Amino acid sequence: MAEIIFKRAGLEDVEDLQAIAEQTFRETFDHANTEEQLQTFFDEAYALPVLEAEVSHPESATYLVYFGDDLAGYLKVNWGSQQTEHELENAFEVQRIYLLQAFQGQGLGKATFAFAMDLAEQSGLDWVWLGVWEHNHKAQALYQKFGFEKFAEHQFPVGDKVDTDWLLKKRLK
């Protein structure tokens, strides 16, 4: 089996990050959105200046996930002012975990989630939290197995459509 490698993304990686972000989001949510909705979301969330700002921010980290030599996905975490919501005091957000479908079922999801949880544990913060689409029952069940519980909801716009994400939290200490 190929080795799983997590590489912290820098400015030199933003084009690769943009490509993997768009491809994984499309594979995950293509069935629930029009092409126009997806493109509007990509133009807002994954524009190169947006990604450059994210990878440069001191309260955020993005990791490219490699399976051997192949870029298979990415992970984005935030703390402090970079969190997408500020519902919890002293919290660490797992904002994005996306893997290409071609690499799913090979342990990368579990390894990436475990890596994110290690980062959360090392942060010294009180809470770890994440958002998950209300219709993603498989992911919700996985997070519940790891002790996460729902504490709020937020709106997630994709173009002119608005989805609802559940916010799930877990106490770290």
Which residues are annotated as catalytic?
143
Q: Output the CA torsion sign for 66, 148, 150, 77.
A: negative
Q: How far apart are CA 109 and CA 130, in angstroms?
A: 15
Crossing angle, helix 48-56 and helix 14-29, to 10 degrees? 110
Spatial contact of 28 and 74, defined as CB atoms under 8 Å apart? no
Q: Give residues with Cβ within 8 angstroms of 34, minimum separation 6.
A: 159
Phi, psi values for residue 161, rounded to 5°: -105, 145
Residue type at 147?
G
Helix H or strand E segment including 127 = strand 127-133
